[in-house]
Structure 1
């Protein structure tokens, strides 16, 4: 009986968690960057693309910490990292503000 594995599990098995985490973070930032390119706010191969690397690494660290805090599985952790990387620091801040504003109301 063979076990069906998803993309995250395969990448994890082949290259390990660190590569999976970094790939998710880079994919998230690349999705955001592509949106900016389509909106004609930046060029695809511009200087701005270099600044996405430290943001991706930082958001990967934050995503790993959030996932560890909530005890999430490896696959879910990868999704959290990609999502947080897509949002970036400002998007994550806006999300947290909304969450905390709702807590104060109720």
Structure 2
């Protein structure tokens, strides 16, 4: 018997498929970042710069998917990792990785 209330991510997986759900999470992460930049008046709402958010979102989705596989987490957790890494972007993810490596090496 299936769970009657599977949750948002599982519902999206059933409706769109796993890859599309991961990309949607990555795009949502980049849009959250962009919204913060717009609120801080560092970017306009609509500009050509939004085009550059697409490859960042796809790249961070690939990285987040790999991190989730490496950590052997559930699909729901993996989608959350993708959204967080996409929000952080390459620089934020790099800073997070550096802190993790420094902490691990003492």
TM-score (norm: length of structure 2): 0.94
- Offset of 1:19 from its aligned partner? 0.8
- Runs of 4+ in structure 1 off by over 2 angstroms are none
Q: Structure 2 unaligned segments of length 5 or more: list them.
A: none
- Offset of 1:104 from its aligned partner? 2.3
Which residue of the partner structure matches residue 102 of structure 1? 103
CA-based RMSD? 1.1
Structure 2 CA distance for partners of 1:8 and 1:41, relative to 1, 3 Å: same
Query: How many matched pairs?
Result: 105
Partner of 1:45, secondary structure, is coil
Q: Structure 1 unaligned segments of length 5 or more: list them.
A: none
Which residue of the partner structure matches residue 86 of structure 1? 87
TM-score (norm: length of structure 1): 0.94
Residues 1-106 of structure 1 correspond to what in structure 2 (within 5 A)?
3=3, 4-105=5-106
Structure 2 CA distance for partners of 1:2 and 1:27, relative to 1, 3 Å: same
Partner of 2:96, secondary structure, is helix
